[in-house]
Amino acid sequence: MLARILNTLLMLAVAVSITGVINRTRAVLAGRKGLRFFQHLFDAKVLLGKGAVYSPTTGILFRLAPCVCLASSLAAFLFIPVADLDPLLSFDGDVVMVAYLLALSRVSLILAALDTGSSFEGMGASREALYGALIEPAIMLSMATLAMLSGYTSLADIFSTARSLDVNLTIVVLLAAYVFLKIMFVEAGRVPVDDPRTHLELTMIHEVMCLDYSGIDLAMIQIAGWLKTAVFAMIAADAVAAAVCFDWLLAAPLAVVVAGLSVGITESMRARNKLSRNSTYILTVTAMSALIFLVGYLLLQNIEIV
C-alpha cells in the first residue's frame, strides 16, 4: 500500500512540475526573469476560488464537460506506474483503458465546444477531433509495442521488473519512448501542433474550445491538461528507465526533465506548424509507431531484417 501511495505522490509531483520546467526553460532561453516555478498552481488556486459563468445558449453538456474531462484524465493518471512502483489502479488490459479514458476527456471538450453554438469553437472542435483520430493509432500501436515486448497488457506489469533486452530490442523501446514524447506534444496541445499562448481564434485548437469557460471550470480543464501531459511523459520515462537504468528514483525526475525541457526548447526555438501541415506531422508520428511495432515483432520472431 505504501508503494501505491508513493507512486501517486510521485505522479502528482511530475504533473505539477512539468509546466514549471517548461516556463523556466522558455524564460532562460529568452533571457528574461520569467514566471515563478509554481505560478501555474497559484493561477489555478485563484480560478478554483471563483464561480463559473454560463452563456444562456449552452446546455448540460457544456456544464458537465469539465468534470468529465478532469475525472477521465485523473482515472487514466492513476493507472500509470513510476518504474517498478505499483499504481493505485491496475488490471490486465488497462493499456486500452488508459487510451480511451484520455479519448473520453477529449470528446467531452469537443461536445462542449459544439454545445456553445460558436463558429470559432466549432472550428477548434473539428480540428481537435481530426487530430485525435489521427493520433489514436499511434497511441495504441505504441502501447501494443510495449505489451508485445514485455508479454503483459497491464502497465504495472509491463514496468514491474527490468527487462533483459538485447541491443536491438533496447533501441526499439527507446524509439517507442520517443514516440510517446511526440504524442505528448499533440495531446497537450503544444508547439509545433498547437500553441497554448496564442489568442488568434482562427489558428487556435485546444484553447479556442475553452474560451467560454471561466472560474472553477477552467481550472478543472487546466488540471486535466497537466495530468494528461504527466501520463505520456511518465510512460516515456518508464520505457527509457526500463532500457537503461530501472529505478523509480531515475524515472520520476527523468519524466519532468525530458518532457519539460523538450517542450520548453521546442517552443523557444521554432514556430507552430501551419494548420495544413499538422495532419502530415501527426501521420508521421503514427507511421513511426507502426514501423517500430513491426520491427519489434520481426525481432521477437527472430526474422532477419535485410
For residue 173, tell me if it sits in a domain. Answer: yes
C-alpha cell at 176: 517507442
Chain Cα centroid distance, residue 177? 13
For residue 61, tell me if it sits in a domain. Answer: yes
Q: Which helix (H) or strand (E) holds 140?
A: helix 119-150
pLDDT band at residue 128 using 50, 70 and 90 as cut-offs: very high
Among 23-27, 164-168, 198-202, the range scoring the smallest mean pLDDT is 198-202
- Does the structure show a pLDDT above 70 at 25? yes
Overall average pLDDT of the 35-48 stretch: 95
State whether the Cα torsion 70-73-3-177 is positive or negative: negative
For residue 306, tell me if it sits in a domain. Answer: no
pLDDT band at residue 160 using 50, 70 and 90 as cut-offs: confident
Q: Residue for cell digits 506489469?
A: 157
45: left (phi > 0), else alpha (psi -120 to 50), else beta? Answer: alpha
Give SS3 for 208.
helix
- Does the structure show a pLDDT above 90 at 24? yes
* Amino acid at the residue 78: L
State whether the Cα torsion 154-157-159-162 is positive or negative: negative
Overall average pLDDT of the 50-74 stretch: 95
Structural domain total, the chain: 1
Q: Could you count the other beta carbons within 10 Å of the beta carbon of residue 284?
A: 12
Task: Provide the residue range defining the domain that includes 143.
Answer: 2-300
For residue 305, tell me if it sits in a domain. Answer: no
DSSP 207: G
> Cα–Cα distance between 31 and 267 in angstroms, integer?
14
Average pLDDT, the chain: 92
Residues near 32 by Cβ (< 8 Å), separated by ≥ 6?
none
For residue 232, tell me if it sits in a domain. Answer: yes
pLDDT score at 306: 56
pLDDT band at residue 163 using 50, 70 and 90 as cut-offs: low
Tell me the C-alpha to C-alpha distance, in Å, between residue 114 and each of 42, 58, 59, 208, 209.
30, 9, 10, 11, 9
- Does the structure show a pLDDT above 70 at 164? no
Say whether the peptide bond before residue 87 is cis (omega within 30 degrees of 0): no
Q: Which helix (H) or strand (E) holds 64?
A: helix 60-77
pLDDT band at residue 146 using 50, 70 and 90 as cut-offs: very high
For residue 184, tell me if it sits in a domain. Answer: yes
Q: Could you count the other beta carbons within 10 Å of the beta carbon of residue 4?
A: 17
pLDDT score at 305: 56
pLDDT band at residue 8 using 50, 70 and 90 as cut-offs: very high
- Radius of gyration of the chain from its Cα atoms, rounded to whole angstroms: 19
Nearest to 175, CA basis, from 13, 294, 24, 86: 294
Per-residue pLDDT of 92-120, as tens digits, reads: 999 999 999 999 999 999 999 999 989 88
Among 41-45, 103-107, 269-273, 287-291, the range scoring the smallest mean pLDDT is 269-273
pLDDT score at 242: 83
For residue 29, tell me if it sits in a domain. Answer: yes
